[in-house]
Structures are given as C-alpha cells and as structure tokens.
Chain A
Amino acid sequence: MTEHFDAIVVGAGPSGNAAAYCLAKAGLSVLQIERGEYAGSKNVQGAILYADALERIIPDFREDAPLERHIVEQRFWMLDDQGHMGGHYRSDSFNEEKPNRYTIIRAQFDRWFSAKVREAGALVVYETTVTSLIRDNHGKVCGVRTDREDGDVYADVVIMADGVNALVASRSGLKTEVRPEHVALAVKEMHFLPEDVIQSRFNIGEEEGVVIEAMGSVSVGMVGTAFLYTNRESIAVGIGCLVSDFAEAQVRPSFLLDRFKAHPSIRPLLAGSEVKEYAAHLIPEGGLKAVPQLYGDGWMIVGDAAQFVNAAHREGSNLAMTSGRLAAETVIEAKTRNQPLTARTLAAYKAALEKSFVLKDLHKYRRLPDVLHGNKHFFTEYPRLFSQAAQTMLRVDGVDKRTKEKQVRKAFQASRRVTGLIGDVFNIARAWR
C-alpha cells in the first residue's frame, strides 16, 4: 500500500508543529512523523516561549496552552566564585493582557501543540523514525522511508524538522554533520518547590516569573552561559557550553551544573527543593555560518535542523516556529498556483526567511560565534574584573575613592592591557553590529 500526501513533516517540535499546523489549516493533506512516544517526550528546552511567534500561528493559544509563568523580570549576572554583578530589568508593563514571554514545560507544551496539529487535520504518527528520504528518477525528494514494516510513504514535499542533529538531512547528504564548535551541550535539572515558596523567594506574584542568565567563572573558562527559570512549581536550572570546549577541557557537564547550583548566588534560590528531572540537549550555536542549504527539489529544512538559534539573545523556539510557518506558507502559495515543489519554487522559503527576523538576526550576529570562541576571556576575565571593581568600590575601608578607582583601572590594565581592552570593545561592537 502506498500513500501520498501533499506534505510530510519530520518531527513534532516547535518548527515541525508550526509547519504541520499551518499546512493542515490551509487544507493540505499532511503527514507528520515523530519518533518519540508523544510530541515532547524527547524534546528538551529551558524553556522560554516567545509568544509572538506562536501568536502568528495560533492567535488564541493563551486560552488552553499549558503555560507556567509570564516573565516580569530579567536578571543578567556576571559571576565570580563569590558572587555576582549584573543588571535586573523588572517592569509591571510585562503584566499585560497578552504577555510576551512565558516559561513552559516542553513535555506538556509540545503535547498541547501536537493536539492542535491533529485538530487542524494533520495525520500525526508517533514512535516512528524516518530513516531516509526517497527520491524519484529525477532526484527530486518524493517521500520518506520509516523504520516500520511497509514503512515507505510519499509526498510532494518533505519538511525536515528533526532537530539539531538533522539526521535525515545529514544521512541524505543534504547537510554536513554538526561540528563540535557549532553546538553547545546544555544540561538542566528541574527543582520542585511549592508555588508560594517560589513566589516569595523571587518576590513575584502568582503568575509572574523570573529569568536569570549568568556567565562567568561558572563555565571554568569555556564559552557558555547558565540559566535559571521559574516555573509554577519548579525551577529549571542549567548550564551549557560548546561541545568542542567540553572535549578540550575534559570537563563533565554535570560537574559544571553542580558548581553552578552550589554558587553562593544560586544555592539559596534552590534551597529545600527536590530534583525530579535531569536532561541534556544540544543547542545549535554556530550562527549563520552553520546554516545549511535550506531547500531543494521537494525538501526544506526548518528549526534547529537548520541551526536557527540566536545564541546571543537565547532565542530558538521562536525562530523554529517562524521558519516552520514560512516553510508551510511557501508550500501553500505554490500549491495555490499549481506550481511543482522544486528548488526553484521553494527558493521563496529562503527569501521569506531573509525578510524575517530569523535570517536578519543570524546575519547581524554572524561574527559573534568566532569572536567568543577566540576570546574566552569574555567568560573568565571580565566577570572577575567587574565583580572585583564592585567589591573595591563598595567596601568602605579608609582608602580614598581616587586610589580605589586607580586600583580598578590597574586591575583591568594588568589583565588585558590598553590595547587588549580597545580590541575587545572593537570586537564585540563589530560582532554586535
């Protein structure tokens, strides 16, 4: 028995669900294939949901999506071994009718999204792995082979949304394997605490949440950041560094996480909690350079598989959903015009990405991965220097302020020299431009 669909979507994460949902809503016949037992069973993220990207797909998602807390406060910390220095931004304006960012638990959220995809009319099968692409005589992708008996199934277009490793595209030679310096390995734990304890500990109301992003001594010299997100009844705490750095430093991710949890600024926030989950995940952080060919005859790549993550701003799921939606819109448009889904038609997908924040942002930060990789002192020296400066200025010990300022300046110069400081400013400014 051979079945034929308008589109096959591989994977049921944010990008795959976005694509399948939009295609099905437009009345196309869609088969979505997920390897996990249910959508979300294999998916790991911090996790923050950026409402805008989802709102453009499901405008009234807030009515029934499993959301934890909307974020009212963002903390950025630079850590040395003793404490942290940084900035907080908190605003009551985040308590709006339609909040902009939420913490979510992916196992629940993805399941909800998958139910929406089914309601929209897509056929979704789980516990099935796509092993390879099927091509017709002209080399156009025309279906997929799965690991089940009688497992071939056909479609006009295959959208690969199979996550960071992009196994289907890699195995089919459409993309090279991910490189260790282009992916971060993040580990996280879920710490359970009663709702009211979280609220009093973070000084927040019932639905409100806090995000802490931290960098510094905690990554022991590697390129990486740590995070802490408040859920309703749990705290997600994690840390991620480049895989190439882990390999070079011979450091275990769990060691880093333990260090972060034991840090004097973090430990009191987690006190008395019960750890119930431990997860790890790769995050594509290679930036624009790592983005593969995005489309071809009968195929497109979306989400993490296309390496769509803006590491500087900790955004990924919104790029994923947007790319899924744009891929779907490309197919819908072509179908309405009765065009074949060849590389020529599907080039519109890349054009749409270039017009959107997805490729614009990746383009903006295209130099950042290399700059950070080549300048590890951003993660070691500066957090230490800033913390030290704060310590020097705040400690009242009879030393006059001019001398203290001199001490701070000397510390910076001793560490980086004037040329180094200027170079760092230039590098960061250029990478940020």
Chain B
Amino acid sequence: MTNKILIIFAHPLFEKSNANDALVKNIPVSDNITFHDLYQEYPEFDVDVKREQELLTQHDIIIWHHPMYWYSCPPLLKQWIDLVLEHGWAYGREGFALKGKLLLQSITTGGKKENYCPTGKDGFTILQLMEPFCQTAKVCNMKYLPPFVVYGTHSMDADGLTKYGTMYGQMLQHLEQKDLDLAELSNFSYFNDYIQTKIT
C-alpha cells in the first residue's frame, strides 16, 4: 500500500534554518512524495489556487511543514489556507474535495518543550495552540493527525539535528508505505511518539 504525500513547506528564511535544513534534507526521494516550497513558488503571495487544488487532489496525506511564529504558521501558509481551501471546494454543502485525506502538521519551535505547558513561559501546549489548524482540517473533512514537533531548535546541536532529521525521513517512509492505525494513533499527543514505536 502506498500513500501519496504532499509536503506544503512554508519558511520565509529557509536558508538560515538548520533545523528545517536537517528535516528537508532527509525527505526520501520518491515518486510518491512531493515537496512543495511555498516561499519559493509564490514569493509575492500570489498563490495559484487552481494549481494548488490540483496538487491537493493528487495526494492522500497533506503535511503542513513550517516553523512556529507567534503561535501560528508563517503568513504565506495562512495566505495559502485562505486562498486554496475554497468554499464549495474544500468545505460547505458541496465542498468535499479533501474528504478523507490525512492532515499532519510538522512544526519546529525555537523554544524548549517545557515552555509549552500551562506553567511554562508560553502558557499553552502545542496541541492547544494548533487548535485552529485542527479545526480547519475538520471543517474540510480531513483527519487531523497528532503533530510532529521538533522543539528547542535554537539550542539544538548537530546530534539533535541528525536525530530529528533521520526521524523525519523514517516517518515519511512509514507514511508512504504503511497505512496508519488511527485508533492506535489517537493514544498519542505527538506523532514523534507514535513513530518511535514503529521504527526500531
């Protein structure tokens, strides 16, 4: 069983991001995985709606891959969401183009994991903060998976980069080749933890 994966990647300063470099470098080369770099494609925010919708139709698993900026995604991804997920296409009475597709968020944060909790600096967990994206997926009839999160990129050393890069590659391979056990997956808050149990 192979799944087709579309990675919608949004990073306005990719060339300076070690963490995302490590992740992107490890994306397996495969006909089933499409890497789509939004800031490279639409530097002037003029997203081509028709083209994006076609891309979405051709894939089974959609990944929003982006750093976390001010508890949300970079603006071009939001622009993309605003433009591409059209009423009557993605949602609404007649909008079922995305029905049944899986949506995974792959997020990098500069701050450490312990900051993201009610007692931490950031006050909320990643899951709480990503509620708007989860809800967007639900409105569009997609299944929102627990996010893949790389914390603490500001202080990450080479070993850490390698570790998360490798994990990302293995995760994509797994998503491509295996069907997910959604029931089992619902026990996990992060995709990182689920994938750890699948790869040894």
**Do these two chains interact?**
no
Q: What residues make up the interface of A, taking CB atoms closer than 8 Å to B?
A: none
Q: What residues make up the interface of B, taking CB atoms closer than 8 Å to A?
A: none
